[in-house]
A and B are shown apart, each in its own frame.
Chain A
């Protein structure tokens, strides 16, 4: 991945030098960078890796998913707070996670705490399951597990 980025920067510098202008213009550099993206996209299968911008796209996807879920969860909690009588059926459920490693597990926990109706209470010492405190177990169990799967897929796209 970083090799592709370095090649892209290199192409941009070459572009600037080939233009032979009297001074260094940022706009020329950006144009060269865009040309480099085009060249790398054509050539990326010869590197034997994924095209490096797909990772950037998946990071942006993850962030936008996260912000939309955060807004939904806040609205849900605010509705609960402002209802005249708070009737909740909380509970703690176990969820086996598919992500592994020092980056993926904390990232998933962080995202999960900021999603609708769920706080991670405990992570098993092996790091293979979460105990999640859900604010409405009876209602939102399926929804919670569905959004968990969505997060896991988005995280794996970024890190693998």
Chain B
């Protein structure tokens, strides 16, 4: 077994792990009780899944085809930038449109802030 074959196996392993993580996080989106906990599954583990898959592909092309692709690195960078932003925006929009949290929720310090503001705005009208 020479070096390039070993690197090929490493990249195969990374892509496999990434695919498994993607499947698990997809089941998580179905299994969690409300939209806020679902966003945990959607932002974290799927980001790691995409990171692992893309770095596996990157390593493969670099080692076997000796082709250093900047596009994969850019892809990783943009997934890192966009997935937290979308997670934040989805939860924010859900909270503003009063989507209920699950019953096991124990603490909510945000409701005071938002409801006070709404009351002040209501008086102003």
A contact residues vs B (CB 8 Å cutoff)? 70-71, 73-74, 77-78, 80-82, 86-94, 109-110, 113-114, 117, 119-122, 124, 131, 133, 135, 137-138
Name the one of A89, A109, A119 contacting B106, with C-beta atoms under 8 angstroms: A89
14 interchain pairs (CB within 8 A)?
A: A73-B44, A77-B40, A78-B28, A81-B25, A81-B28, A86-B32, A89-B106, A90-B34, A93-B107, A110-B81, A113-B44, A121-B92, A121-B95, A135-B40
Tally of A-B residue pairs with Cβ under 8 A? 113
Q: List, in ascending order, chain B residues with CB within 8 A of A90's CB.
A: 34, 36-37, 101-102, 104-106
CA distance A94 to B111 in the complex (A): 11
The smallest beta-carbon distance between B43 and chain A, in angstroms, is: 6
**Interface check B3, CB cutoff 8 A:** no
Contact B88 A119 (CB under 8 A): yes
Name the one of A74, A78, A89, A110 contacting B84, with C-beta atoms under 8 angstroms: A110
